[in-house]
Chains A and B, each alone.
Chain A
Amino acid sequence: MRIVCPFCGERELGEFTYLGDAKPVRPVAGASEDEVFDYVYLRDNVAGATSEYWYHGGGCRAWLKVARNTLTHEISSVEPALGAGAARVGA
């Protein structure tokens, strides 16, 4: 598998570390235990298009948001994960 890092270019899987689903957003301070529980534990087991966090530890140390199809492993986009999990006030 190969990932096109927006900063470093196309690199091999071994340079990256997988974290998981990039969908959950960290609840705001003061959120209920249930909300935080969902954030920490609840994940969809997607067969198909998904977005996930990868860390380019063997390169630029950027956290990336990778859109990948879990059935075909096809990667459709890679972008910096800047703020992707940040709490959204009012959300």
Chain B
Amino acid sequence: MAGAQTHRLDKGGLIDRSASLNFRFDGKTFSGFQGDTLASALIANGVKLVGRSFKYHRPRGILTSGSEEPNALVELRTGARREPNTKATTAELYEGLEAASQNRWPSLRHDVMSVNQLFAPIFVAGFYYKTFMWPAKFWEAIYEPAIRRAAGLGRAAGVADPDHYDKAWAHCDVLIAGSGPAGLAAALAAGRSGARVILCEEDFTLGGRLLSDGGTIDGLPVAEWLSRTLAELAAMPDVRIMTRTTLFGVYDGGTYGAIERVNDHLPSPPEHQVRQRLWRIVARRCVVAAGALERPIVFAGNDTPGVMMASAMRTYIARYAAAPAKRIALFTNNEDGWRTVEAALGAGLQIAAVIDARPDVSAAYRSLASKGGFPVLHGSVSGVEGGKDGVRKIAVSLTGGARAEVEADGLAVSGGWNPAVGLTSYHRGRPKWRDDIAAFVPDGAPPGMVAAGAANGDFGLGACLSQGFAAGAAAAHDAGHNGKAGTAPVADDEAFSLTPLWHVAGKGKAFVDYQHDVTASDIELAQREGFESVEHLKRYTTLGMATDQGKTSNVAGLAIMAAVSGRSIPETGTTIYRPPYVPVAIGAFAGHHRDETFHATRLTPSHHWAAEQGAVFVDTGLWKRAQWYPRAGEKDWLESVTREVKAVRGGVGFCDVSTLGKIDVHGRDAGAFLDRVYINTFSNLAVGKARYGLMLREDGIVYDDGTTSRLAEDHYFLTTTTAKAGLVMQHLEFCRQVLFPELDVQLTSVSDQWAQFSIAGPKTRDLLKEIVDPAEDLSNEGFPFMGAREVALRGGIKARLFRISFSGEMAFEISVPARFGDAMARNLMLAGAPFGVTPYGTEALGVMRVEKGHVAGPELNGTTTAADLGLGKMMSTKKDYIGRVMAGREALVAPDRQVVVGIKPTDKARRLRSGAHIIPKGQIPGPGNDQGYVTSVCFSPTLDQWIGLGLVERGRERIGEVVHAHDPLRGEDYDVELCNPVFYDPDGGRQRG
């Protein structure tokens, strides 16, 4: 049973007291209300200790009430949904929520690793750099395992994320970041002007600081103005308001990244819903009304649980009716901190003292102090007494040197406000320093973006409203909308005076970066060691490099560096700001692109038929291709593949080769065009004939190969390899449009339009006669080798028939419109049954091409020339073509190049493996005598042994030489013989027969 909410205020707050929620933290049950965050619920239950720090395992409490939180990181949920480093300050409470603290062992209250504090000297600035210089053996054996256990944040779930993530696009005229006074005013103005507006708010409730700070707008209490404004915006059809959505990045051309936490506030997403959605928003204009972040003051013990940002304390009291402490002290250097005193007094809490670093305090606050019965001490906090149970006593050094002590269980701190300059600085904008607020403000925002209100350094409520309104109206106008915006909401500006104070010297650790445990003395040490540039400081100390990206620490760190190096803060400068503004799960970037939907899948026209046959499929690029067709009783793939090869060589088989790229080339200059992109000539190819072609890159290296047929005087049909289908189309379009615009030629990709089958084997003609209209002459005279023409099939369908052979057998390739591909496969099986037709997959295809010595992907590997492939004679000397000049370079025609050659083990029983290196016989293998490698291998049923192709230095001059195959990867060494790469039917009689 959950205990009482000891620190819940009796009244107030934007929580639903009728909706009680039970949750567990570190195994203990608590209760909170709908509208709570995990942080506010823990506070309402009097929990102060929520985690241990990264390096020193110091007890840590809740510092802020937003996404800038450096301390209160928890593991949220359990099992596969366990999510480390979740900020308790933004995690919405739900029934049954389970969270656990991080960085502690065995328990949060008794953490043995807190002894790290005793070894603090080894964890100082530059720790990683210095540690890496220790002897390697030490590092691997002792330090790394120990450090990995001791340091680090939460634990990943370790299993696949069961949830779905989505990616979506949105378009608008005006994008607004933030729903505080400036953001809402901007939305009003832009919406009334008629612009399409998207407003993103990372919180689950709209209003920003209005929800915590109160005030009066247009003469109405803030809550009333807020509900009136939200109603007006809701009534505008072109205004879209997205809560739980953080704008995290700005990209070129007005593209923005946003992460919507669609269902993070539930234990698990409802069925068919996503957990998070990554938005890419295209906006003509963007108003950044992301507000400002209150900054801490660095003093000894400033990380004691119970020390909290003053504005956060105000938020917990006013918005969540949860008291972070019952007797509160305030340490401030500015007027704004005092508003927390007002809020606390209003909620009936006690104020122990106000420690104000400024020389003077306004009369109004003086009288507040005397009414509230608490002292105003001019000075600063020099130390905090307390520990894991929170603050007990605060040491104050008074202006003039005297000391004082204040007893309190909570310390609110306000060091001033830093405008959220992230979004405006992501295009390398360097924010500029403003003395009156002692803070950086945006300068040089990306095109189309403007900051308004607190994000622009103007903190007053009145200024936020008027600036936001003006920015919204201007943005709408720039986007072409000139409707009547009406008048801006009006409010008074609060007083804001500040005396900069960054660091109070004192004994004990004073933290700058809470999450990475970077102290003031680390920065001083870095400066002494010469790391004065802010970029070096950041990397040397890891300041600002944790998951919070230094939102609460960077400016204080710069200020301390400025002080110790004797420069001003603007002279010291800022580091470069980079997205994302908040951590974004990789799963959200991946969206649905994971597992089987990682990429699109392309199925061949005969895929479903092949699946019915029990084919085993292989992924080739996006394609699924039938690799082989196992039959009952076959013990492994090799047995199936061997059967398929023998069936083709002895009878007839067919294979779906639709994955080849197919391009129709039309036009009067089609032949001239092909002459310029292939090394050989196509303009002289007779109509009705096919020719093998090879194309180079402009640098002289082989790009792709394939057969091209001339179907008419002005019509060629070109095929590419499967892998290069898209790239060759792109390359040919480049040649056509950019290089040779004078040629009358058009290219059409028809890869998906034709289903193409290879039919091979001595009985091919017998099978084809059953398919093709009997009027078509398929005899050797009527349809000779390398013939190509349109034919009619029985039943009238037109097909393209090509007498080309990859297998070395008598073979045809037949193309039918893709919609007939499935029927064609079934028909081939039926018509071929009397001839024992056998479907074969890509493995058998590969075996037959190696037996025949045809080059393929492993040989066309981006380093080989036409001559390397044994195709040098194809290079025309009578014309210019892509790659011709560069192919003639000295190194590309050198006689000692590695060229394609056949390879077979001298021991016929030996298995040959691709990747094995070729070394001269009798030499010890090494880089100096590496003469090439085995590129393709197969078990040849025809030769009854393993054979292969390889790229070997001067290979063609060394036929018959026995060399050494060295395979260090598999630990194999054996002798192989270099041989003619055409193992099967070298004179080609079979394919011509």
Contacts and interface: CB of A to CB of B under 8 A. Distances in A.
Contact of A86 (B698, B729, B740, B885): B740
Query: What are the 9 closest A-B residue pairs judged by CB atoms, nearest first?
Result: A29-B880, A2-B253, A83-B741, A1-B252, A36-B885, A85-B738, A73-B252, A63-B737, A81-B738
Contacts of B880: 29-30
B770 interface: no
Interface in B232-272: 251-255
A26 interface: yes
A33 interface: yes
Contacts of A36: 698, 885-886
Contacts of A39: 698
Interface of B: 169, 251-255, 280, 282, 427, 447, 698-699, 726, 729-730, 733-734, 737-742, 879-880, 885-886, 888-889
Nearest to B881: A29
Nearest to A41: B699
Given A1-B253, A2-B255, A33 B738 contact: no
Nearest to B890: A33
Contacts of B698: 36, 39-40
Contacts of B253: 1-2, 73, 75
Nearest to A19: B734
A81 B280 CA distance: 29
Nearest to B888: A33
A86 B738 contact: yes
Interface in A32-57: 33, 36-37, 39-41, 53, 55, 57
Given A40-B699, A57-B726, A73-B252, A31 B885 contact: yes
Interface residues of A, number: 35
A76 interface: no
A85 to B, nearest CB: 4
A62 interface: yes
B252 A2 contact: yes
Which secondary structure dominates chain A's binding surface? loop
A84 interface: yes
A40 B696 CA distance: 13
A35 B665 CA distance: 30
A84 to B, nearest CB: 5
A2 B282 contact: yes
B578 to A, nearest CB: 15
A19 B697 CA distance: 14
Nearest to A82: B741
A43 to B, nearest CB: 13
A3 B563 CA distance: 47
Contacts of A53: 734, 738
A83 B742 CA distance: 8
19 contacts: A1-B255, A2-B255, A12-B280, A12-B282, A27-B885, A29-B879, A33-B886, A33-B889, A36-B698, A40-B698, A40-B699, A40-B886, A53-B738, A73-B252, A73-B253, A80-B737, A82-B737, A85-B738, A86-B739
A74 B889 CA distance: 39
Contact of B738 (A13, A27, A31, A84): A84
A86 B447 CA distance: 36
Contacts of B886: 33, 36-37, 40
Nearest to B169: A12
Contact of B737 (A12, A57, A62): A62
A83 B885 contact: no
Contacts of A2: 252-255, 282
A63 B734 contact: yes
A90 to B, nearest CB: 15
A36 B889 CA distance: 11
Contacts of A72: 427
A84 B735 CA distance: 11
Contacts of B737: 62-63, 80-83
A17 interface: yes
Contacts of B738: 53, 63, 81-86
B681 to A, nearest CB: 15
A61 B699 contact: no
Contacts of A87: 739
A41 B885 CA distance: 13
